[in-house]
Structures are given as C-alpha cells and as structure tokens.
Amino acid sequence: MGGRFRFLFDSRRSGGSDRAALRHPFSVDAKVIQHTIQLVPRLSEPTLVTAVLVEPNVPVKKGQPLFQFDRRPYEYKVNQLQAQLAQAKQNVLILQADVDVATQKVDKAESDLKFSRTMREASVPDMGSD
C-alpha cells in the first residue's frame, strides 16, 4: 500500500519539541512516479522515423525537433500536386483560348446578322413611298 506516510520523531533535531519533530516525513513503502508525456505526431499518414534528434535523459526546449521523419511520401505528394497545378494552369490557357475563339465567332455571327439585315432592307422596296 503506497502513499502511507509516517513522521519521523527525532528529538535530537527538534530540541525535544514534538511539534518540530513532525516536520520530517518518511515512508517505508513509498512509490516513485515518473511523469511521462505521450508524443503523437500530426502527420496525415503513417511515416517512418529516420532519426531521433534528442538524447535520452537530456532536457529539451520548447519547439526543439525531436524526430526526423521519412520525407519521401510527402515530397512525392508535393511533386504530384505541383504537376496537377501545372496541368491546371495549362488548362486555363487552353480554355482562355477557347473563350477567345468563341467570342470571335459570336462577333462574326453578329456582324453577319447585321450585314444580312442591311442587305435584306436594301433589296426590299419601300411600299410606303409612291
């Protein structure tokens, strides 16, 4: 049963006073508890640890890197996303060219329509004037 404390009565230190003697706790069945912290990396997928950057029983500072992880899966993902971005940018250029061609076709169709109306009006005699 851990955690039961007794107080050592040492009349030599207390000068004979019982009250002063009760300042020195001791235990015959004490337990030492080591405080630990669980470390959980915030990685999107399981990754191998390639290096441990700290030594055992050496204090670490806030923000100090503790581990180095395998970068290859993340570098692959970055390269893959960069390729997708380049493809999307190229698609934007192609689609912009398609919009320009379509705009020119609309302009030509409107011009052809206007010309046709003008030609029709010029070929139809005015019935109202004698």
Q: What is the pLDDT of residues 50-109, one digit of tens each?
A: 999 999 888 889 999 999 999 999 999 999 999 999 999 999 999 999 999 999 999 999
45's tokens: 């997928």
- Distance separating alpha carbons of residues 117 and 121, to the nearest angstrom: 6
CA end-to-end span of the chain: 127
User: What radius of gyration, in Å, describes the C-alpha atoms of the chain?
Assistant: 43
Question: What average pLDDT does this structure show over 12-29?
Answer: 57
Question: Where does the pLDDT of residue 121 fall: very low under 50, low under 70, confident under 90, or very high at 90 and above?
Answer: confident
Q: How far apart are CA 18 and CA 23, in angstroms?
A: 10
Q: Does residue 48 carry a pLDDT above 60?
A: yes
The Cβ-side half-sphere exposure at 11, using a 13 Å CA radius, reads 1
Rounded mean pLDDT, 17-36: 64
Distance of CA 130 to the CA centre of its chain: 83
pLDDT above 60 (res 14): no
For residue 21, what are the contacts with CB-CB under 8 A and spacing of at least 6? 7, 8, 9, 10, 11, 13, 14
Q: What's the chain's average pLDDT?
A: 81
pTM: 0.47
Within a 10 A sphere around the Cβ of 61, how many other Cβ atoms?
5
- Beta strand 6-7 pairing with 25-26: antiparallel
